[in-house]
């Protein structure tokens, strides 16, 4: 069938068949996506069994709650970010901390504190290197922002996230820190290890067929928000990870790989209240001001909460 014939057919099925009140945006999107799908079926000569296989795959990915993981692995989430970067650049917003993808593993409702938080529940004292992160949140005028909210979450030494990994305590490695009067935040946690897609899951199943791995480099997620500013969604990477520039979710970016300082001086250990050498990272955040010309920075999507 020719593409023009497919367009006519889709119009018949979706537009002409409409008798009730329609949502114009939904109709526009469905007409486009259905038409593109039908054309792909025609061009690739997809067989009925292949088409059902695809639908069954999506159903399975949904049923096992891996749609968010699939979006990351296909680069869809990264693509959304690239478009958001372009929209911000068009609105004249440059020079802020780079965004990178949220991923599917945020959980709302983490414990909140002012200035400092310890993220780990002390359940991995042997395996884990202590990690301290500290910095300042800067606003649109370049000045430190007191009372900014730094939401932070990351994996444990097995690459697993609390809530989704039921062996961890609630909100382990998840906190919400408000910056102090100087716009500063600081935290103590443990060095994370990179996440890997569940080996038997739907996402890894597809990645295998594509000859791809499903590994992320070690990373730490942040939401940074403040009154009159655009919410920033980003991550920092742990330098030296073998997957640093080979992330299955394509989230590594220049500017998000801070230097790690390894500290073993006895007086420093004593000052931090630790008995073994630790890692320290300085990382500042630079937010954009609220901007009429840019699409909303707050993304609506289904998120876990506890």
Gap between the Cα atoms of 218 and 129, Å rounded: 13
Take residue 52 and report the two structure tokens written for it: 């059902």
Nearer to Fe ion, 103 or 183 (CB): 103
Q: Which partner from the list Fe ion, ligand MBD, none does 69 bind, CB cut-off 5 to 8 Å by kind?
A: ligand MBD
Q: Which helix (H) or strand (E) holds 208?
A: helix 202-209
Total of chain residues touching Fe ion, rule CB under 5 A: 1
Stretch in the footprint of Fe ion (CB under 5 A) among 99-107, 114-122, 242-250, 256-264:
99-107
Nearer to ligand MBD, 145 or 191 (CB): 191
Q: Give the nearest residue (CB) to ligand MBD.
A: 103
Nearer to ligand MBD, 251 or 281 (CB): 251
Determine, following the binding rule CB under 5 A, whether residue 217 of this chain makes contact with Fe ion: no
Gap between the Cα atoms of 119 and 284, Å rounded: 19
**CB 72 to ligand MBD: min, Å:** 4
Q: Which helix (H) or strand (E) holds 189?
A: strand 184-190
Binding site for ligand MBD (CB under 6 A): 69, 72, 101, 103-105, 195, 216, 249, 251
**CB 39 to ligand MBD: min, Å:** 31
Gap between the Cα atoms of 45 and 63, Å rounded: 28
Nearer to Fe ion, 179 or 215 (CB): 215
Stretch in the footprint of Fe ion (CB under 5 A) among 98-106, 170-178, 201-209, 249-257:
98-106
3-state SS, residue 223 = strand
Report yes or no: 173 and 124 within 8 Å, Cβ to Cβ: no
Report yes or no: 52 and 60 within 8 Å, Cβ to Cβ: no
**CB 219 to Fe ion: min, Å:** 6
**CB 132 to Fe ion: min, Å:** 20
Stretch in the footprint of Fe ion (CB under 5 A) among 103-111, 199-207, 264-272, 280-288:
103-111
**CB 65 to ligand MBD: min, Å:** 12
**CB 226 to ligand MBD: min, Å:** 23
Gap between the Cα atoms of 286 and 72, Å rounded: 25
Query: Measured between alpha carbons, how far apart are the two ends of the chain, in Å?
Result: 51
DSSP strand E in 78-179: where? 107-108, 112-114, 116-118, 130-138, 149-154, 174-178
Q: Which partner from the list ligand MBD, Fe ion, none does 139 bind, CB cut-off 5 to 8 Å by kind?
A: none
Q: Which partner from the list Fe ion, ligand MBD, none does 201 bind, CB cut-off 5 to 8 Å by kind?
A: none
Gap between the Cα atoms of 115 and 146, Å rounded: 9
Determine, following the binding rule CB under 5 A, whether residue 103 of this chain makes contact with Fe ion: yes
Could you tell me which of 164, 165, 282, 173 has the C-alpha nearest to residue 221? 173
**CB 195 to Fe ion: min, Å:** 5
The CA-based angle 33-39-43, given to 5 degrees, is 145
Determine, following the binding rule CB under 5 A, whether residue 104 of this chain makes contact with Fe ion: no
Distances (CA, A) of 213 to 10, 190, 219, 235: 37, 25, 17, 21
Nearer to ligand MBD, 236 or 249 (CB): 249
By the criterion CB under 5 A, which residues form the site for Fe ion?
103
């Amino acid at each position: 069938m020719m593409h023009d014939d497919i367009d006519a057919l889709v119009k018949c099925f979706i537009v002409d068949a409409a008798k009730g009140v329609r949502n114009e945006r939904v109709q526009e999107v469905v007409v486009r996506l259905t038409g593109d799908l039908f054309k792909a079926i025609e061009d690739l000569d997809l067989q009925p069994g292949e088409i059902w296989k695809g639908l069954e795959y999506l159903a399975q990915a949904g049923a096992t709650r891996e749609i968010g993981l699939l979006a990351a692995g296909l680069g869809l989430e990264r693509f959304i970010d690239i478009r958001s970067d372009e929209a911000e650049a068009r609105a004249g917003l440059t020079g802020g901390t780079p965004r990178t993808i949220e991923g599917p593993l945020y959980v709302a409702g983490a414990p909140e504190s002012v200035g400092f938080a310890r993220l780990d529940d002390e359940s991995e004292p042997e395996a884990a290197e202590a990690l301290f992160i500290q910095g300042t949140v800067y606003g649109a005028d370049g000045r430190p922002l007191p009372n900014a909210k730094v939401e932070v979450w990351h994996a444990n030494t097995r690459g697993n996230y609390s809530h989704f990994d039921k062996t961890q305590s609630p909100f382990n490695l998840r906190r919400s820190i408000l910056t102090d009067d100087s716009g500063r935040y600081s935290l103590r946690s443990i060095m994370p290890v990179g996440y890997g897609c569940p080996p038997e899951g739907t996402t890894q199943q597809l990645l295998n067929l594509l000859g791809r791995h499903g590994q992320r480099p070690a990373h730490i997620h942040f939401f940074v928000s403040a009154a009159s500013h655009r919410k920033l969604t980003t991550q920092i990477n742990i330098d030296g990870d073998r997957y640093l520039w080979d992330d299955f979710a394509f989230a590594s970016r220049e500017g998000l790989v801070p230097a790690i300082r390894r500290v073993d001086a006895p007086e420093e250990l004593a000052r931090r209240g630790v008995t073994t050498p630790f890692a320290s990272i300085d990382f500042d955040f630079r937010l954009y001001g609220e901007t009429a010309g840019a699409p909303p920075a707050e993304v609506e999507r289904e998120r876990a909460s506890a």
